[in-house]
Each structure stands twice: as structure tokens, then as C-alpha cells.
Amino acid sequence: MKAVSSELSSVNGVTQISEKLSYEDFLVQYEDKWAEWIDGDVIMVPAASAKHQDIGSFLENFLRRYIEYHDLGKIFRAPFQMKLGPDLPGREPDLLYVTPPNLDRLKDTYLDGPADMVIEIISKESINRDRGEKFVEYEAAGVSEYWLIDPLREEADFYRMSADNHYHHVLVDDEGIYHSEAVKGFWLRVSWLWQDPLPHVWDIWQELDLLQEDSKQGNNL
């Protein structure tokens, strides 16, 4: 591993380390850390708030149960790297989902290519990055579905890749429910995200009418 000099800069709690590391060296040096790689520089992401963590845990648990139950692939929560492409950054989304046909992209410590769906939970320091830089990068890489969850404003925005290779905003239905295209059959009532405390996944499982089906098959969640 080649030694390199580094320069530090910090803006709004985000530390940028100009080391000019290769992506391979970055994966070794920053394994298990919440960090991102951009053209050799390292972005250290500050610790998430309690609300951020709660929403992330809720979405992970809910999606994981559904995805595993229906054998729809795998979901990962940060810290887990996603190398978007040969000429694109290595990002660390709050959550990323990979469909079965793309599971060959999974390596030991990172996803080699775009996820099928990415979820970012916005914080004060990440709003420009999530809605700006990452939006453009995920679109360019071909992430087919992008969720932006904003606890501060209690807003959720959902984007899907269209045939023109650009994201288009997708609205919730009249009942405030978003129907995912990437995760087949999955839907989310957005108001759940703003409840305090957040709803029990078990209760939501009942609302999705999956508990009864699961009981018939004799599975224990």
C-alpha cells in the first residue's frame, strides 16, 4: 500500500480527506467506517441523529422481512460501500437493495455496481449531497429507484428511472401509500415514518395481509 500525504478540510461536520487513495486502498483503510470515496478523496460522514437511526432501523427491518420472505434479493444498511461505476464515486447509502439477477455484483466489502434501489435519510449536513451530488450520480449509474426521506420536513420523495435514463418523481396514491417498482409488491404508508414512536413492524406486517399467509405456511418471523 503506497503511503500518501493527506489534507483535511471540514464543512458542516463533514470531513474531507484529500489522500488520493485508490479505491482498493480505501476499502482496506476505511472498512467498517461510514466513509465515501470520490476520485481519491475520502468523505467522512458524521454520526446520524437518533431519529435518523430509528427510521433507518424501521425501514431495514420492514424491508428485510418482506424481501427475505419473498426471496427477492438482499438489503444492506450502512456502512456498506457501493462503487457506482468505473468512473463514478464509491458511496455509502443508508440502505441499498439488490435484486436476485444482480447479486453477482456483491463482493465481500462492497457492491461492485449500482444497487437496484437506494434509500437516503436526509440530515441537515447531507441535504445538498443527497438531493444534488448523489441524485446525479445515482441517475448516471443506473440506480433504478431512489428514495429520499427527510425527517426534518416530514417529507418523502420517490424517483424512478424511466426509458429516457432520467429520474422522474413518483407520487404517492390517494391514501398516502408509495408502491415500489424495484421491490415487487412492496408498499409503504409514508405517514408511518413520522410517527413517534414508530409503528411495530409486526403491526405493519398484519396491515400488509402477510401475517395470515405466513401463519398458514407455518413460518416464524
Residue 200 main-chain phi, psi, to 5 deg: -70, 135
Amino acid (one-letter) located at 36:
E
Range from 70-79, 108-117, 196-205 carrying the lowest mean pLDDT: 196-205
User: How is the chain split into domains, by residue range?
Assistant: 1-47, 48-216
Pairing between strand 145-150 and 117-121? Answer: parallel
User: 14-28, 81-95, 138-152, 180-194: lowest mean pLDDT where?
Assistant: 14-28
Please tell me the predicted confidence (pLDDT) of residue 3.
43
Pairwise CA distance, residues 24 & 114, whole Å: 17
- For 88, other C-beta atoms within 10 Å of its C-beta total 18
Over 60: is that where the pLDDT of 19 sits? yes
Does domain 48-216 fall under CATH 3.40.50.10800? My reply is no
List CB contacts of 78: < 8 A, sequence separation 6 or more.
Answer: 34, 56, 92, 93, 94, 95
Contacts of 185 (CB under 8 A, 6+ apart): 70
Please state the pTM of the whole predicted model. Answer: 0.88
Q: What is the pLDDT of residues 62-72, one digit of tens each?
A: 999 999 999 99
Digit-coded pLDDT (tens) for 165-178: 999 999 999 999 99
User: Is 93 within 8 Å of 120 (Cβ atoms)?
Assistant: yes
